[in-house]
Amino acid sequence: MIAVVDERPDATVVWHVQTTVGDTAVMSGAWIVEDPADLLVGAVRVEPGAEVVEDLARAISAERDRVREACEGAVKGLRLDPLVVPDLGVLASAYQGEPIAQRAWVTATALAQLVQQWHTLETQRRSRKHLQEVFGREIRPLPLRNHAEA
């Protein structure tokens, strides 16, 4: 789970983004609180903004390239969906909630879109025996780099 945490002088906004397949909703919770400590247990904490979105997009793209490279000469006809990096400006213009929560929501929504693309990539990868042998049979964890659990 990722926790997008936007600390402001008057409150802290937290959005949870689920990263595992089968969770009921990718965006699973939102809070405006004074102390978010209990909401961060077991979560990878990130701050809102383009940097974390771009980092995750780059990491997914790199893994997509690794899958494609592993296919060369061994797998024919594997189609991998292109990575679409969410447009934070478009997301911001679509926001309709509390103004204080906009930055966190935009980042959480962008991350949720990337999580869904990761799951699609992993489904496509797991559809080929050779790629299961190279990378494993199970869905790999989301490649969150430079972020630690809270």
Averages of pLDDT over runs of 10 residues in the chain (150 residues) are 90 88 72 85 93 97 95 84 97 94 96 96 93 94 71
pLDDT in tens, 36-54: 888 888 889 999 999 999 9
Identity of the amino acid at 47:
E
- Res 78: pLDDT: 82
The reported pTM is 0.87
Structure tokens at 122: 């992993």
CB burial of residue 48 (10 Å; 0-12, 13-18, 19+):
buried
Nearest Cα neighbor of 100 from 24, 32, 36 is 32
pLDDT in tens, 90-101: 999 999 989 999
- Res 79: pLDDT: 87
Sign of CA dihedral 27, 33, 34, 36: negative
| 3-state secondary structure at position 124 | helix
- Res 150: pLDDT: 47
